[in-house]
A and B are shown apart, each in its own frame.
Chain A
Amino acid sequence: AQSVTQPDIHITVSEGASLELRCNYSYGATPYLFWYVQSPGQGLQLLLKYFSGDTLVQGIKGFEAEFKRSQSSFNLRKPSVHWSDAAEYFCAVGAGNAGNMLTFGGGTRLMVKP
């Protein structure tokens, strides 16, 4: 069965600093990979996704992620964090029929210091 691990439960960065959130997955086939963000009281918003092709994917809000098959990783990055980026971030792998079923990691809560 597929699984997703986000090793960092909490991360605090200063505004303007770079950010990398880690994600490791376990899946037997080529995965569909996603990053979602959840702000308090809000639903899950898709930041970016990887299905195939270029292993560096660009998303919304200046985020990007790189798929590394050899490391089973899909880390999320942003070169300069804004205070509004404070939220919880979830990595997910799509499995089942045509990637129908998402398996989520435990999430990383990002705090941004002024």
Chain B
Amino acid sequence: EPEVTQTPSHQVTQMGQEVILRCVPISNHLYFYWYRQILGQKVEFLVSFYNNEISEKSEIFDDQFSVERPDGSNFTLKIRSTKLEDSAMYFCASRVQGPNEKLFFGSGTQLSVL
């Protein structure tokens, strides 16, 4: 089965630093997403991306966050100035079209902000 790939699997950063989380969605997919899961809490939607623009975003996705599809294969999440509360597992996901299609999740990047 095709996979969504996320790198790195674990990233440690200092508070206030910028961090970029990388994802390679499945090649023919058109919709891209970021979710996060703070330890012990629910998986939360951050943002969806389609046709090179954000289609929806949650309240969590404030000005400190941005997403980009810099080339035909990568999909990145940037946190400009990390805070302690940004520590979480970040999941990238993609799918071909709308909700009738299966959403594929990556195995996540564990971000630790010190």
Contacts and interface: CB of A to CB of B under 8 A. Distances in A.
A100 B99 contact: yes
B42 A106 contact: yes
B43 A44 contact: yes
B interface, how many residues as a size bin?
A: 20 to 34
Q: Which of B4, B31, B56, B91 has the most CB of A within 10 A?
A: B56
Given A43-B4, A97-B55, A102 B107 contact: no
Interface string B74-114: 00000000000000000101000011101111111000000
Contacts of B31: 100
B27 interface: no
B99 A105 contact: no
Nearest to B4: A43
Interface of B: 4, 31, 35, 41-45, 48, 55-56, 58, 91, 93, 98-100, 102-108
